[in-house]
Amino acid sequence: IMEDNKKHKKQTKRTYKKRPKKLAKSSTQSELKDTGSNPLWGGRFSKGPSSIMEDINSSVDVDWVLYEEDIECSKAHAEMLYNQGILNNSDKKKIIKGLNQIQREIEDGELTPNHTLEDIHMNIENRLFLLIGDAAGRLHTARSRNDQVATDFKIWIRKAIDQSDRELQALQSALIKRAEQHSDTPIPGFTHLQGAQPVTLGHHLLSYVEMFGRDRGRFNDARKRLNECPLGSAALAGTSFPIDRKMTSESLGFDRPTRNSLDSVSDRDFALEALAAVALCSSHLSRLGEELVIWSSNQFGFIRLSDSFSTGSSIMPQKRNPDAAELIRGKNGRVTGNFVGLLNTMKGLSLAYAKDMQEDKEPIFDSFKTLSICLRAAGGMINDMTINKEAMAEATKEGHSTATELADWLVRELNIPFRNAHESVGKIVKMADSKDSRLWDLSLSDLQSIQPKITKAAHDILKPEIAINTKTSYGGTSVKQVKLQLRQAKKRFL
Ligand code: ARG
């Protein structure tokens, strides 16, 4: 035991040096409950782990952020044990007081990770023992780290989902604001990144509002399924103590306790669903990022990103690079990787808990952090960007983008079959090309030389601003429809 403790101290010292000065002041970090090779399960072992074992096994640097959830969970568990007569009042009070102190110590940076203790749960339990003595050992009655970690992690993800929802809403609000200012600003609509038909900028921005609205829906669905409490499932089989799982479930804000103890400690669906929702949301962000990159290029010049969201080049003085937009495009790779990574970790795991599952936290923490920064950066760019209406309007005139309008007119007004109309308009486009002219610059008699029944009304429709307002179908790009969509979006999302 002496040998082992010396070794612990030595290793603690080693990691100690790597930590920042501010944290190194801590004295609480190096202390260990003196009960054998490991303070929590030393009884069965005569030797401590090899330092390589500690390195591969330790998750405390990653899961330290779960301290708040872990303490919340332990407090709820202690109250329930007391309520059920499993824990006496004096021990419960000591436990709650000790946990409150630990929370303060962590928040003040006084208590820092001890790497000889595998994870946040063991760090907290060890510290509690040092503060209150043997009563600390009663907290782990009728629970295991398996149900404990699942519960902590669910609470953390639930908060992260709620934060994402607020950040998504803020981004939607920025998009809606710009869409309102530009409900009638013409912009080319593209397919294959070739000018297709003119739309309004408001309509275009509102399409992202829809995407982010579905993302919020997905997070919300994941949250609903997640919100069942695993605490009390213990290691895998449940417990012989007369616990009240409804009580802990309620006090931790869950809808109900989980129904199967084996599933409760094996399940990481909730993490995967959240990661899938992050990945999909990030893929939407990547499309927005790509469009901002394209729109802000000199060649397009549709927008100018503000100085606060642009970077210069160390060699080319003229450059304004859209780095934030590129990064919200690029970071999609990493969060998709996080999702695929955890999906593969979980594949083929026999029931119930397996240590592989400790790999669940980094992808979640990284993905939500990444998503948050991307959502805020996207909102910032949208809020701040200068919109060049003239460049957008000019671009709608390229590529005969109103040719379909004329074909539709021939069908609508003259009852010509669409295929025939398509053919006539194709000829008109060819004529415009040969004259190096825009469709509406052809004279009425030019048009009539191909389709004699064409009138002045058809000629007008070739102008983008007029063509846009013919798209009156529900969800279409006419200014009236866009204004309706705006009203609805505000009600649905803000
Ligand atoms: N650090 C572990 C994790 O995050 C906690 C659960 C450990 N359970 C166990 N049976 N070893 O997954």
Q: pLDDT tens across 414-457, in order?
A: 999 999 999 999 999 999 999 999 888 899 999 999 999 998 88
pLDDT band at 37 (very low <50, low <70, confident <90, very high): low
> Does residue 322 contact residue 292 with C-beta atoms inside 8 Å?
yes
- The catalytic position among 192, 240, 350, 445 is 192
* Whether pLDDT at 488 is above 80: yes
Cα 486 to middle of ligand 1, angstroms: 48
Strand pairing category for 256-257 and 228-229? parallel
* Whether pLDDT at 38 is above 90: no
Comparing 293 with 314, the larger pLDDT belongs to: 293
* Whether pLDDT at 281 is above 60: yes
How large is the average pLDDT for residues 487-492?
A: 98
What was the pLDDT predicted at 29?
56
Q: Tell me the best of 140, 147, 358, 364 to mutate to test the pocket of ligand 1, counting ligand atoms within 8 Å of each CB and taking the most.
A: 358
Cα 355 to middle of ligand 1, angstroms: 6
What was the pLDDT predicted at 457?
86
Both structure tokens of 309: 């969201």
What was the pLDDT predicted at 317?
76
Q: Residues with beta carbon inside 6 Å of ligand 1?
A: 59, 63, 118-119, 145-146, 149, 353, 355, 357-358
What was the pLDDT predicted at 378?
98
Say how far residue 395 (Cα) sits from the centre of its chain: 34
How large is the average pLDDT for residues 180-192?
A: 96
- Those residues with Cβ within 8 angstroms of residue 443's Cβ, 6 or more apart along the chain or in another chain: none
- Please state the atom number of ligand 1 nearest to the C-alpha of residue 353: 10
Task: Give the pTM.
Answer: 0.89
Comparing 16 with 163, the larger pLDDT belongs to: 163
Say which amino acid occupies 354. Answer: A
pLDDT band at 58 (very low <50, low <70, confident <90, very high): very high
Cα 6 to middle of ligand 1, angstroms: 25
Is 192 among the catalytic positions? yes
What was the pLDDT predicted at 176?
98
* Whether pLDDT at 42 is above 90: no
pLDDT band at 245 (very low <50, low <70, confident <90, very high): very high
pLDDT above 70 covers a percentage of the chain that reads 92
β-bridge partners, 199? 187
Q: Tell me the best of 41, 355, 357, 359 to mutate to test the pocket of ligand 1, counting ligand atoms within 8 Å of each CB and taking the most.
A: 355
The closest alpha carbon to 215, from 155, 290, 283, belongs to 283
* 234 backbone φψ class: left, alpha, beta (φ>0; ψ -120 to 50): left
- Please state the atom number of ligand 1 nearest to the C-alpha of residue 358: 12
pLDDT band at 347 (very low <50, low <70, confident <90, very high): very high
Cα-trace Rg, the chain: 31
Q: Tell me the best of 38, 66, 119, 157 to mutate to test the pocket of ligand 1, counting ligand atoms within 8 Å of each CB and taking the most.
A: 119
Cα 150 to middle of ligand 1, angstroms: 9
Comparing 105 with 306, the larger pLDDT belongs to: 105
What was the pLDDT predicted at 83?
98
pLDDT band at 48 (very low <50, low <70, confident <90, very high): confident
Identify the sign of the CA torsion 367, 250, 78, 355: negative
Both structure tokens of 56: 């591969």
What was the pLDDT predicted at 4?
46
Is 313 among the catalytic positions? yes
What was the pLDDT predicted at 25?
38
Cα 203 to middle of ligand 1, angstroms: 49
- Please state the atom number of ligand 1 nearest to the C-alpha of residue 357: 12
Cα 358 to middle of ligand 1, angstroms: 6
